[in-house]
Amino acid sequence: MNVTRQELGNLITTKLHRAGLTEQHAEVVADVLVHADARGVHSHGAMRVEYYAERISKGGTNTEPNFTFEKTGPCSAIFDGDNGAGHVAAKQAMEEAIQMAKENGIAVVGVRRIGHSGSLSYYVEMAANEELIGLSVCQSDPMVVPYGGAEPYYGTNPIAFSAPGNNGEHIIFDMATTVQAWGKVLHARSKNAPIEEGWAVDRNGEPTTDPFKVNALLPIAGPKGYGLMMMVDILSGVLLGLPFGNKVTSMYHDLTDDRNLGQLHIVINPAFFTSVPKFKENIVRTMSDLTNVKPAPGFDQVFYPGQINTICEIESNQNGIEIVDEVYQYLISDVIHNNSFDHKDPFAK
């Protein structure tokens, strides 16, 4: 089903508002989800709405959170999300970080006690739009086997980065520290499609391409990805005094309870280090240089990191966003949720 960006945003807003979020908070969550779908990251888009709606309906998301922002130094602060919608807390925390970086050159803002906050590229793009460098990391459910291990310990623990170019053309790079994000497996399930080899293992620790048999994901590049996911967990969990590693709660464990997740925003103002016009010019040069690299056999072109998502977003804005029919039918229905997620195994259907 192909829908316009505005139609999709309206459908998501309506569903989440009916589930219990304020209209203002529902609009923010919808904006983050539409951003993901438009960039082709459907694992973090509209397919997440029913899960959010069930958690909101059952009280696991605080619909009237008391957000607080406390500066702990000239360049550091803690934003407490009071277990409200993670998207809303993360966005407001990034707004604070942007202002702090403009004034002091750098900002490190920890976001404590939030729910799932969606695609991190949304938040670092906010920094790039203000001619700032953005870096954001967050912890997630333990569903990844550590290198050499046979049971999950860390989450997919994503990292997002942005750097501003000219005329709104930015480098925006967002990745899980697993070969693929868990949401990609969910997206494959929604389409009844196989996953690629090397993404995951089954209950016996054997590689699988069946998304319904996945029991753990694999870190990127073996021990290197394992090290990165540990770094993310320390920065967004241990550093903020939150549950960490396999103590992080599953998305599906108890939808009536708080999640207490952590996220960390780092924003850097290039003006404190170099000439901003020169910096932006060199970012544009970086993008151009990379796309002009001679492609290897079997490749038509070299893309800079995140470029394919940017191209997808441009096309989506022009031609609409492709949504799985099942997800679209749910969005236009009167159903708030189908009780599909509560107390389920994290790898359950």
Active site residues: 116
Q: Can you read off the two tokens belonging to residue 301? A: 């072109």
| Long-range contacts, stretch 241-247, CB < 8 angstroms, 24+ apart | 241/112, 242/112, 242/113, 242/139, 244/139, 245/142, 245/153, 245/154, 246/142, 246/152, 246/153, 246/154
Residues sharing a CB contact under 8 Å with residue 276, sequence separation 6 or more, in sequence order: 131, 270
Q: Can you read off the two tokens belonging to residue 277? A: 């016009």
Cα(339)–Cα(91) distance, integer angstroms: 28
Buried b (16+ CB within 10 A) or exposed e, 295-315: eeeeeeeebbebbebbebbee
Cα(217)–Cα(152) distance, integer angstroms: 8
Residues sharing a CB contact under 8 Å with residue 162, sequence separation 6 or more, in sequence order: 121, 124, 125, 127, 128, 133, 134, 135, 170, 171, 172, 173
